[in-house]
Structure formats: structure tokens, C-alpha cells
Amino acid sequence: MSKHSFNDDILRPAQKQLEAYNNRDIDSFMECYTENCVVEDAQGNVLMEGHEAMRKRYTELFEMSPNLHCELVSRIQIGSYVLDEEHVTGSRGSKDISHVVAVYRVANGLIEHVRFIR
């Protein structure tokens, strides 16, 4: 069995953005992403690109979701990627639990690409 090594510089932005998401803190959340970050769905369709689009979408989500919470189920780090398996509740007032895998690509201490698998 091999021993896995984790790189805090890769994991730190994923953890910090998770905490900011759960606190609905848009400024701390945005600090975790590059200015030109791309967010895609599972098929590679671009959902958002750049800080302006992300800030607009997440500000609206945070305002409309007072009970928003993301529970981290598992986290894997492979190279410059962090894969978070998550259970999200309270999105836009929903009582449903969304099962999501977020794949973050990190460079220079910031998330530069996200792919959401739902």
C-alpha cells in the first residue's frame, strides 16, 4: 500500500472556499479563485467565467439561501487537483440534498478551474 502525500498549497484554497461558502462570505469565497477562473458542468459546458460572473452568481445564491450548507463527504488530492464529494443543503430554500463532486484545479495557491459533477 502506498502512502499518499498531500500538498497543503493545493488543499488550502479548496478548504478556504468551502468555509467561505458555508459562511456565505462572498469576499473570502472570491479570494480563493483566479480572476479568469472557469466553472463548468460535468460535460464541459461553461457555467461561469471570471470573477464578475462568479461574484454575481454566488452573491445571488448566498442571499437567497440563508440555510445554505455544504458538507464535505470526502476529499482526494491528486497532483494539482482536489476532488470534493459534497452534500449541499439549503440551496435557494430547497430542503433537498444535492450530491455533488467538485473537481478543483489549483495553480499558484488559487483555484483556476472547477468542474461540477451532479
Q: What CATH number belongs to 8-117? A: 3.10.450.50
**pLDDT computed for residue 71 by the predictor:** 98
**What is the β-pairing status of strands 33-40 and 81-89?**
unpaired
Model confidence at 3, in pLDDT bands (50, 70, 90)? Answer: very low
Give the Cα separation of 15 and 8 in Å (integer). Answer: 10
Instruction: Over range 99-113, report the average pLDDT.
Output: 97
Question: Are 75 and 31 within 8 A, CB to CB?
Answer: no
Give the Cα separation of 82 and 75 in Å (integer). Answer: 7
Which of the 8 DSSP states describes residue 67? T
pTM higher than 0.95, yes or no? no
**pLDDT computed for residue 5 by the predictor:** 57
